[in-house]
Amino acid sequence: MRLLDTETGRFVDRDPAHTTYAILSHTWDTSGGEQTHKQLRKILKRYLSPKIRDACAFARANGFRYIWIDSCCIDKTSSSELSEAINSMFVWYAEAQVCYAFLADVPVGEDHTAAGSSFRRSRWFTRGWTLQELIAPWDVVFLSCDWTVIGSKNTLSRLVEEITGIDREVLLHEKSLDSVSVAARLSWASKRTTTRAEDQAYSLLGIFDINMPTLYGEGERAFRRLQEEIMRRVPDQSRFAWGR
């Protein structure tokens, strides 16, 4: 697993099973773009994007030497590395000591429980990939746009349950994913979107404990392959509820 050293801003390779690390969950910047693995290889620490620099600083201030950030820690020019990362991502989030959920569109100081609050309307709750990033980690800390702590998955579990429709027991790992019907798990993703059609399926691999090759360019066929894999593993016909 490739991690960022929060002190040097450089990449290091570590075994996630034997490494203490934080992990960042965020929505990608569609206007200015995100720094990629290739770009970060070429530049010095002083040129890190504000988000990466602030993530490293926040993790370091909270005692973490290493952090994993999907936008730059995966070499997406390597199809084999990308496929391995996508199939391993749920485990990486689960094994992180903490997941920092950075909500770039949520200001500090407002009543986050209020109807129509920025927290309730955050783009983070509408993206496909952040579903597993919410469920897999034991500890998720929500951060506002200026990196102020809003609360944790534990302290805000009732509110997050209301926003996402995911049972509080599942969020807090008091109830296993295997005990939740396929239809219910698919319903969590039904209102979420992904930039690429294939990611609608790939972002659910960990939710169903599925491992399968990623083939960008296959479009909606990726979801059909996911359904076929679910059919082999889970004797639950409710999977067909997705279409309704």
Contacts of 81 (CB under 8 A, 6+ apart): 74, 75
Which pLDDT score is estimated for 224?
95
**Strand blocks (E) in the chain:** 2-5, 11-13, 22-26, 66-69, 98-102, 140-143, 149-152
Q: What pLDDT shows up at residue 135?
A: 98
DSSP-derived pairing of the beta strands 98-102 and 2-5: unpaired
Residues of the chain below pLDDT 50 = 44-45, 243-244
**What's the distance, CA 188 to chain centroid?**
14
CA atoms of 64 and 67, how far apart (whole Å)? 7
Which parts of the chain fold into alpha helices (H)? 37-42, 50-61, 70-73, 79-95, 130-135, 157-164, 168-171, 182-189, 199-202, 221-233
Please check whether residue 66 is in contact with residue 13, taking contact to mean a CB–CB distance below 8 angstroms.
Answer: no
Residues in the chain, overall count: 244
Cβ–Cβ < 8 Å for 101, 55 = no
pTM over 0.85: yes
Question: For residue 169, what are its two tokens?
Answer: 């027991």
Q: How far apart are CA 14 and CA 85, in angstroms?
A: 14
> Domains in the chain, please, with CATH?
2-175 (3.40.50), 176-244 (no CATH)
| Token output for 211 | 């491992």
> Are 157 and 175 a contacting pair, CB within 8 Å?
no
Separation of alpha carbons 192 and 173, rounded Å = 22
Instruction: For 62-93, give one letter per residue: b (16+ CB within 10 A) or e.
Output: eebbbbbbbbbbbbeeeeeebbebbbbbbebb
Taking the CA of residue 72 as centre, how many other CA atoms within 13 Å lie in the half-sphere pointing to its CB? Answer: 29
Predicted local confidence at residue 49, as pLDDT: 82
Q: What does the pLDDT read at residue 44? A: 46
CA distance 141 to 30: 23
